[in-house]
Amino acid sequence: MDGLQKVAPLIARIFLAILFIMAGIGKLTGAEATAGYFGALGIPLPGVSVYLVGLFELVGGIAIVAGYQTRNVALAFAVFSIASAVLAHTNFADQTQMIMFMKNLGLAGGFLLLWVHGPGGMAVDKK
């Protein structure tokens, strides 16, 4: 059990971050489509915002996996997850949007736990 407890925080960080890494790559490689969605949501400067959000998701996700600046990045992702839930997923008449809203709240909860407890032993922060 001790071995699993050592590696579990790393696995949890990978599971939390993979969604953001993939989303960041998607935004950076498909910026036009995402910028259109951002514009429809009323996000200012959607053509610029998509790149900023994509970089945040990609670089932040990599930082979480590596365990670098974990608490700071985890808090930023918790706030980001709640903000994106409120900005983009409040059409509760659409079951998919309701699920996305709840997914974002669940992610925020995971990131808040990471913020409170830190990255675990297998992390750059611990070196």
Domain coverage including residue 97: 2-119
Q: First vs last Cα of the chain: how many Å apart?
A: 23
Task: Tell me if 105 is assigned to some domain.
Answer: yes
Q: Pick from 58, 41, 61, 38: which is nearest to 49 by CA?
A: 38
Number of structural domains in the chain = 1
Residue 3 binned pLDDT confidence (cut-offs 50, 70, 90): confident
Task: Tell me if 77 is assigned to some domain.
Answer: yes
Cβ-contact 15, 7 below 8 angstroms: no
pLDDT at residue 1 is higher than 80: no
pLDDT tens digits along 104-123: 999 999 999 999 999 999 99
Task: Tell me if 107 is assigned to some domain.
Answer: yes
Task: Tell me if 72 is assigned to some domain.
Answer: yes
Task: Tell me if 86 is assigned to some domain.
Answer: yes
Task: Tell me if 102 is assigned to some domain.
Answer: yes
Task: Tell me if 87 is assigned to some domain.
Answer: yes
Task: Tell me if 127 is assigned to some domain.
Answer: no
Please tell me which residue, 4 or 116, carries the higher pLDDT value: 116
pLDDT tens digits along 23-47: 999 999 999 999 999 999 999 999 9
Q: Determine the Cα–Cα distance for residues 83 and 123; give it in Å rounded to an integer.
A: 27
